[in-house]
Amino acid sequence: MEKPGKLLIGRRRFMLAAAAAPLATTLPFAQAAPHDPLPSWRNGTAKKAIMDFVGTVTNTESKEYVEPENRIAVFDNDGTLWSEQPLYFQLYFMIAQLKEASPRHPEWKNDPVFNALMTGDVNAIVKQGVKPALELLAVANAGMTTEEYGRKIDDWIHFARHPRFNRPYTDLVYQPMRELLAYFKANWFKNFIVSGGGIEFMRAWARHAYDIPPEHVIGSSIKVEFAMKDGQPVLNRLPKLDFIDDGAGKPVGIYRNIGQRPIAAFGNSDGDLQMLQWTAGGKGARLLGLIHHTDRQREWAYDRGSPIGLLDKALDEAYAKGWTVVDMARDWSRIYRFE
Amino acid sequence: MEKPGKLLIGRRRFMLAAAAAPLATTLPFAQAAPHDPLPSWRNGTAKKAIMDFVGTVTNTESKEYVEPENRIAVFDNDGTLWSEQPLYFQLYFMIAQLKEASPRHPEWKNDPVFNALMTGDVNAIVKQGVKPALELLAVANAGMTTEEYGRKIDDWIHFARHPRFNRPYTDLVYQPMRELLAYFKANWFKNFIVSGGGIEFMRAWARHAYDIPPEHVIGSSIKVEFAMKDGQPVLNRLPKLDFIDDGAGKPVGIYRNIGQRPIAAFGNSDGDLQMLQWTAGGKGARLLGLIHHTDRQREWAYDRGSPIGLLDKALDEAYAKGWTVVDMARDWSRIYRFE
């Protein structure tokens, strides 16, 4: 992935230095065409809101100027940065892990969560929420070190394929959101993921997919414990949940891992509402974005009443408060990079 | 504080651009005197170990080269970045908070932890460890929002004075460690604090004192809960500990908030041992530093048998494994900036 932040510095520095060398007559870089940082976003209210916001907070003449160190942007992951249909992608990974562990756990035979996952019963899975599935996963992989677990995730991400597109799941990252992350980063924002998904699952590929480093990924987690194993220090996974980073947990996760209030937040479901409210509650310019899944052809169309990615209270509040609702069918000229 | 990282880019870019302008005959920036990044460190094994390590991991020709994104450095706070005598500085803040809350808590009258804190009984306080003190503080400030609590800390940091030096506590930051943090940052390291102290207490002043942003501070924490208060979203402090970031908790804190293994770690007590072991356990070049308090005149001399900052197992392991023991009396020409 290119690093626009660095390119920007390079260009700015070149122009400075060129100005200091009066005999140089050509400025090849300065003649480049005007650059659209969001080429997969169609012109419209959403794109304008994003660009106006970035223009305002980076303008040192503006009353709403924000120092780079305080330009914190938070993003939900499933349904906001990549697709989440027909099931949250991490559930496919969990199902594979549970299948592998099931011979050691005959007690799961009568477990409704286990059975819903094994039969792919979407309604039952979503009704139970992510917590019992994470609890089963914590039991399935208890005793594994964090590094062994990381390798399981790497393998799965490498080999697994999405049922509809027959492509690696990371191909289903939204190209417009990749551009938004890069645009923010070029303007010295710090981008964070704040997701209900497992923290290690996302950290394994977020750098590659989004240019977001592990320390900028906040998620749900299971307890780990430091131990010496064969003379080597390890962190062992325990069969116990530590933290659910969803709903009202998201502002708590932000407090734990960031410690300052974001100025921009993007989500796509009611599980993101408190994160959006918490972000909106600070002083100064704010950008609150809600990704609305409206494209039945290129992606999936869903919101109210959908079992996955339920968007009900958050959409009401977005309309009532004038947040930026991103209509995928209308606002995005391209959804995936492979199109 | 100057930002050496940016200066470095500027200089490198200037030289590149100058080379591309053949008619320019003077290179004023390139004639600057050789720069010692660690002027408060005397020449010796510790300074050499630091500079050799940075030279190695930033040298793209070296087998032990480390990409900037993986240059994670972790630092204990009390006794490593600033002084911790005669009591951890945060305890003075806690004592002030408990005094303020005590009229509402008559039940504390017979509490040994409360009484030890009120009478400044160092041995009793340290024997009980930081946990019961943090638990009392959690009760004292329960119901306060995180922002109200932040203002309490700001006030205290501004007005409180150290009993020996009669100066703000932040004046007791070690100048050589400030230089080390800046040297690392100039070489694209990411510096993190990993301390047993309260996370909010340190976040309030770490940016100013160390150029370390809130999201790079990991510490002990109490539980908080999202709520709407007078129509505004807040995080309320609950009367319950969430996490103790000390001893075997430090690698867990690193896993939670960083998600990758550091390549450099500095501590000063047995509470830092597992963090140093965890850092040492990765592959490739490592820098493990132990600050040894040996300067009775300029600071305090203590290690084995000291009630605060006990250094026993960690010092044995440092000598046995060839870690870098920083002897304050010998290795530091200057301890505080005000000297």
3-state secondary structure (DSSP) of residue A65: coil
Partner-chain residue, chosen from B14, B233, B255, that has the shortest CB–CB distance to A251: B233
Cβ contact A9–B14 (<8 Å): no
Test the A interface: residue of B13, B14, B71, B229 with most A CBs within 10 Å: B13
Taking alpha carbons only, the member of A278, A270, A266 closest to residue A314 is A270
Instruction: Find the residue in B nearest to A68 (Cα).
Output: B213
CA-CA distance, A18 to A11, in Å (whole number)? 10
Test the A interface: residue of B189, B200, B218, B226 with most A CBs within 10 Å: B226
Phi/psi of residue B218, nearest 5 degrees? -120, 130
Per-residue exposure over A299-323, b if at least 16 CB sit within 10 Å of its own CB, e if not: bbebbeebebbbbeebbebbeeeeb
Phi-psi region of B324 (alpha: psi -120 to 50; beta: other; left: phi over 0): beta
Cβ contact A278–B233 (<8 Å): yes
Q: Are B265 and B189 in contact (CB under 8 A)?
A: no
Partner-chain residue, chosen from A21, A224, A248, that has the shortest CB–CB distance to B226: A248
The rounded Cα A167 to chain-centroid distance in angstroms is 19
Test the A interface: residue of B16, B242, B257 with most A CBs within 10 Å: B257
pLDDT score for B121? 86
Higher pLDDT, B179 or A34: B179
The least confident of A4-13, A28-37, B34-43, B330-339 is A4-13
Q: Identify the bridge partners of residue A288 per DSSP, sorted by sequence position.
A: A265
Test the B interface: residue of A6, A12, A13 with most B CBs within 10 Å: A13
Instruction: Find the residue in B nearest to A207 (Cα).
Output: B69
The answer to whether the peptide bond before residue B86 is cis (omega within 30 degrees of 0) is yes
Partner-chain residue, chosen from B203, B225, B258, that has the shortest CB–CB distance to A259: B203
Q: What is the ipTM, given to two decimal places? A: 0.88
pLDDT surpassing 60 at residue A17: no
**CATH dotted code for B41-86+172-331:** 3.40.50.1000
The answer to whether the peptide bond before residue B28 is cis (omega within 30 degrees of 0) is no
Mark out the alpha helices in chain B (DSSP H runs). 4-19, 45-57, 89-101, 112-119, 122-128, 130-140, 146-159, 175-186, 199-210, 249-257, 273-280, 313-321, 328-331
Q: Are A279 and A285 in contact (CB under 8 A)?
A: no
| Chain A residues touching residue B257 (CB < 8 angstroms) | 215, 256-257
The nearest CA of chain A is from the CA of B16 a distance in Å of: 9
CA-CA distance, A154 to A169, in Å (whole number)? 12
The one-letter code for the residue type at B298 is: R
| pLDDT tens-place string over residues B178-231 | 999 999 999 999 999 999 999 999 999 999 999 999 999 999 999 999 999 999
From residue B245, alpha-carbon distances to A273, B69, B196 in Å are 30, 24, 5
Instruction: Find the residue in A nearest to B251 (Cα).
Output: A226
| pLDDT tens-place string over residues A253-310 | 999 999 999 999 999 999 999 999 999 999 999 999 999 999 999 999 998 878 787 8
Partner-chain residue, chosen from B207, B221, B274, that has the shortest CB–CB distance to A226: B274
pLDDT surpassing 70 at residue A52: yes
**CATH dotted code for A36-87+173-331:** 3.40.50.1000
With residue A5 as reference, give the H or E element that holds it.
helix A4-19
Cβ contact A252–B259 (<8 Å): no
Instruction: Find the residue in B nearest to A276 (Cα).
Output: B233
Taking alpha carbons only, the member of B152, B134, B136, B301 closest to residue B221 is B134
Domain ranges of chain A: 1-34, 36-87+173-331, 89-159
With a pLDDT cut of 90, the percent of chain A lying above it is: 80
pLDDT score for B32? 54
| pLDDT tens-place string over residues A223-252 | 999 999 999 999 999 999 999 999 999 999
Taking alpha carbons only, the member of B339, B335, B333, B337 closest to residue B43 is B333
Q: Are strands A324-327 and A301-302 parallel, antiparallel or unpaired?
A: unpaired
The nearest CA of chain B is from the CA of A162 a distance in Å of: 27
CA-CA distance, B179 to B184, in Å (whole number)? 9
Per-residue exposure over A186-206, b if at least 16 CB sit within 10 Å of its own CB, e if not: bbebbbbbbbbbbbbbbbbbb
3-state secondary structure (DSSP) of residue A279: helix
3-state secondary structure (DSSP) of residue A327: strand
Q: In chain B, which stretches have pLDDT less than 50?
A: 1-28
pLDDT score for B12? 40
Q: Are strands B287-294 and B264-267 parallel, antiparallel or unpaired?
A: parallel
| pLDDT tens-place string over residues A107-158 | 999 999 999 999 988 888 878 877 888 899 999 999 999 999 999 999 999 9
CA-CA distance, A224 to B269, in Å (whole number)? 23
Taking alpha carbons only, the member of B223, B226, B229, B167 closest to residue B200 is B223
